[in-house]
Amino acid sequence: MSQKNYDVIVIGAGFAGVTAARELSQKGHKVLVIEAEDRLGGRTWYDQRLGRGLEIGGTWVHWSQPHVWAEISRYNLETTESPTPEKTFWFADGKLQEGDGEALLKVLDRGMNKVVEDARKYFSKPYEPLREIEALKEVDHISIADKLRSLDLTKEEFDANYSMWAVNFHGSPETAALTHAYRWVALTNYDWQYNFESCATYKLKNGTKELIEKIANDSKAEFQFSKPVSQVEKVDDEYRVITKSGEEFYASAVIVTLPINILNTIKFTPELSEQKQAFSKEGQNSTGVKYWARVRGQRKPFIAMAPADSPADFPINFIQYEYNIDEDSIYVGFGPDHKYLDPENREEVERALRKIIPDVEVVESAGYDWSGGEFSGQTWPMYRTNQLTKYFAELQRPEEGIFYGGGDGANGWLGFIDGAIENALRTSKLVDQYITKGSNSLSV
């Protein structure tokens, strides 16, 4: 068995792991990144599908997201826009409604504003999410669905808002924390429409792959792929990291970047704190699915939303026209529960889309089951009720030389590429201090 020594071992080569590797190796530390899959990117994956490059996972970026935008500037990368919708569609009384590009926003606007109206009270400084911890504890049990039901919305407004929040949380609004919605909208000056623009408009022209490769190439770290880690053990004053195939590596500190839902798939000795384990066991809110569909005929840009309260009836609740290709169009979208849609099954995707667009003909579909994936277990993390006040501080707290550095523990754009970079930057600083000064709390 091989035995190798490093200053830091980073588990996972998504945006968080690669950023941490760059920061620490540039400081002169000997860094190893161990990745389960055979590629960089984690929950981002720019791949050739349906006749062109497509983002199978994380996609949109925005200048309101400071950490990812700083990287885009640093590497001088180009962004491109998703098309502005000319038409929008939504359901009212079981019937599909149609309007211009702004019409759906108008149906959503009153409810969306009411849902987040108290955001500033709890998140006056968005990058200090626990600043009002005592006040937050009073409201952290409220779900988005509870809040929507407490408002005087028409049925049409309620259904559209419910579906919009199911897209935002990529799962059920029944378990989605209202505090997380506050936290989110606080990042875009408490303005939900600006938030929507930030989350679904601009993408990297050559894909997320180009950005992550630039960051990786800027690091002096060693990368090893196709090596799932199964155990991390403290041995004297070092950590032994053991892969599924039994390879062993040693380091003074370990950065773990696994998504929350699969954190428990690695056995830690000594065990991680009870709260970290409980968070992983409970899982955060995203259970959804993202699909791509190449459909017959060239269409005009549109957005369509369908009810999200019964994924068995509507496995897809969001469709966005994204590209024209030859004589076809390419749509992208989401469903609230991955159990009801296999995005790679053409017939299933066509059946689900036909609930909204009856005559649509799907030529081919694409996607990946992130929520069911062995090395993902979820899509973008959105906290459930009570998780912010119960688990968040603990997730960020290092346990001696074990640090949680994944994007799921970010202060700001948690759940985004930006959050992965942000948490990696903060965690790298902590790790550097731990290695050089023997302390794992930040001192200025």
Binding residues for ligand FAD, rule: CB under 6 A, are 11-17, 34-37, 42-44, 57-61, 228-229, 257-259, 262, 265-266, 290, 370, 375-376, 379-380, 406-407, 415-418, 420
CB of 317 to ligand FAD, least distance (A): 14
- 159 or 408, CB closer to ligand FAD? 408
* Alpha carbons 111 and 145: distance in angstroms, whole number: 12
- Half-sphere exposure at residue 243, Cβ-oriented, CA atoms within 13 angstroms: 22
- 257 or 365, CB closer to ligand FAD? 257
DSSP one-letter code for 406: S
CB of 136 to ligand FAD, least distance (A): 22
Query: Measured between alpha carbons, how far apart are the two ends of the chain, in Å?
Result: 42
CB of 35 to ligand FAD, least distance (A): 5
* Alpha carbons 313 and 337: distance in angstroms, whole number: 11
CB of 338 to ligand FAD, least distance (A): 10
- 380 or 434, CB closer to ligand FAD? 380
Q: Which residues contact 197 (CB under 8 A, 6 or more apart)?
A: 62
Residues 329, 171, 45, 419: what is their CA dihedral angle, to the nearest 10 degrees? Answer: 130
- 38 or 237, CB closer to ligand FAD? 38
- 187 or 435, CB closer to ligand FAD? 187
- 415 by DSSP, 3-state: which? coil
CB of 54 to ligand FAD, least distance (A): 11
Contact 17, 257 (CB under 8 A): yes
CB of 68 to ligand FAD, least distance (A): 7
- 147 or 376, CB closer to ligand FAD? 376
Around Cβ 271, how many Cβ atoms within 10 Å? Answer: 11
CB of 148 to ligand FAD, least distance (A): 23
Contact 391, 275 (CB under 8 A): yes
- 194 or 375, CB closer to ligand FAD? 375
- 216 by DSSP, 3-state: which? helix
- 16 or 304, CB closer to ligand FAD? 16
- 147 or 170, CB closer to ligand FAD? 170
* Alpha carbons 28 and 122: distance in angstroms, whole number: 40
Around Cβ 56, how many Cβ atoms within 10 Å? Answer: 21
CB of 69 to ligand FAD, least distance (A): 11
Number of helices followed by number of strands (H, E) in the chain: 15, 20
Peptide bond into 270 cis (omega under 30): yes
CB of 418 to ligand FAD, least distance (A): 6
- 8 or 153, CB closer to ligand FAD? 8
- 147 or 384, CB closer to ligand FAD? 384
Contact 165, 151 (CB under 8 A): no
Contact 317, 334 (CB under 8 A): yes
- 91 or 423, CB closer to ligand FAD? 423
CB of 284 to ligand FAD, least distance (A): 11
CB of 406 to ligand FAD, least distance (A): 4
* Residue of 35, 165, 169 whose CA lies nearest to 112: 165
Peptide bond into 336 cis (omega under 30): no
* Alpha carbons 101 and 99: distance in angstroms, whole number: 7
CB of 289 to ligand FAD, least distance (A): 8
* Alpha carbons 170 and 176: distance in angstroms, whole number: 9
Six-digit token string for 361: 């003909």
Q: Cβ-closest residue to ligand FAD?
A: 42
Enumerate the H helices of 169-249 as residue ranges: 178-186, 192-200, 207-217
* Alpha carbons 43 and 59: distance in angstroms, whole number: 10
* Residue of 375, 318, 357 whose CA lies nearest to 341: 318
